[in-house]
Amino acid sequence: MPRTDDRAPLRVALLGCGVVGSEVFRLLVEQAADLRARAGAPLEVAGVAVRDPARRPGLAAGSALLTTDAMTLATRPDVDIVIELMGGIEPARSLLLAAMRAGKSVVTANKELLGQDSAAMHRVAREHGTDLYYEGAVAGAIPLLRPLRESLAGDAVRRVLGIVNGTTNYILDQMDTQGADFADALGEAQALGYAEADPTADVEGFDAAAKTAILAGLAFHTRVTTADVHREGISAVRAADIASARALGCVVKLLAICERCDGGISARVHPAMIPRVHPLAAVRGAYNAVFVEAESAGRLMFYGAGAGGGPTASAVLGDVVAVARNRIAGIRGPDTSTYAELPVLPMGDALTRYYVALDVADRPGVLAPVAEAFARHNVSIRAVRQEGRGEDANLVIVTHTARESQLAATVAELGAMPAVRAVGSVLRVEGEEGE
């Protein structure tokens, strides 16, 4: 068998050199000997494409490796592997398609791109006999996509429940443990560098929706795009909801939910209460975790750092070693299968439990019509709790499992009742009934 040292180096192009890219570059250089031994050939950096060479963390000014011409680098004949860490749809999409058409193996952490149209990306990879790996796109360091694609290939995944956005988990955790309201907790997340100056992608669930599409596609062997995922963020979660959750033995989390249901799958992102005894309730701060329920394996939990330079670089370099091994063996890694082609069901068909908080007048005859509205829409009440507030009261109702469309009809009717001053909030309750 040829020694590793005898093999020609595999040449790596790095597109993007920000927080993650500079860490990948550092490790490619500093861990070169170990990576060479593991991959089976030296991994040599052929070039680093950046938008602005004056801002290139981790690289010496004027380094000959730097270029602003990402397309030329990504398609250069001497390049074998292209790592894309620029993020966003364009120019990343054009660069990766061109790289694969030129026969390069591709590693990316770009969830927006994969969430938007992974089918087209995979088709091009297949047509050109190359690899497309993206473990770093979902939940940073946590090995998750490979276990779903490979380790669980012989099982039937029933449900994936994930905390896949660290910023929102940090904010909700601060609201739970410090009693902070949303605005204060967001300010802290921004001060600590978790949340961007424009936090929309995180707090409104866009980031989590792209990751949910990737997870649902792998879990259910189906094409799922971000546009198929029902999305709600956490900006409407009130301190009062967090307090109610606490009183009910629950905690509020922004959940990515992918479920196999009758007639298809449900893919959604929204804040939800989960019982404090659920393993996901223990996921604190900016950590991520994904809970998978499979028919034979039972319940699995994947936990770790979901973002940041080091953690994401770990996932990226794992992919780089994998595609390098494949190139040396002259093979492609396992393809993503979409044979099941299950329909993604509308949100109205989702089945879950609900917490409904109502501001009501505290007088005789209020509870009965409220309960009747639930009954009329076939939503069964599990528990009712009331806190008096002078002449008014906060009435909290928790339901048994019901269909989203029926709950929505109930809420619309409640909102129009004279005795109901306002529907304070509606939150889904996830986790097994009785947990």
Q: Which of 104, 111, 211, 253 is catalytic?
A: 211
Least Cα distance to 378 among 429, 426, 413, 416 occurs for 413
DSSP helix/strand/coil, 91 = coil
Asked if 63 and 43 touch (Cβ cutoff 8 Å), the reply is: no
Dist CA 309 CA 136 (whole Å) = 11
Dist CA 133 CA 405 (whole Å) = 38
Least Cα distance to 237 among 385, 61, 355, 329 occurs for 355
Judged by the rule CB under 6 A, the positions of this chain that interact with ligand HSE are 165-167, 194, 202, 207, 306-307
Q: What is the CA radius of gyration of the chain?
A: 24
- Residue 33: exposure state from Cβ atoms within 10 A (0-12, 13-18, ≥19): exposed
In degrees and rounded to multiples of 5, residue 76 shows phi and psi of -60, 140
H-run or E-run covering 371: helix 367-376
CA distances from 36 to 11, 31, 184, 323, 399 (A): 12, 8, 47, 13, 57
Query: Among this protein's residues, is 104 annotated catalytic?
Result: no
CB nearer to ligand HSE: pick between 80 and 135 = 135
- Residue 110: exposure state from Cβ atoms within 10 A (0-12, 13-18, ≥19): buried
Dist CA 99 CA 366 (whole Å) = 65
Name the DSSP class of 62. T
- Residue 114: exposure state from Cβ atoms within 10 A (0-12, 13-18, ≥19): buried
Q: Where are the beta strands (DSSP E) in 306-434?
A: 351-361, 381-389, 392-399, 402-403, 420-429
Q: Which two tokens stand for residue 304?
A: 């770790």
In one letter, which amino acid is 180? A
Q: Which residues are marked as active site?
A: 211
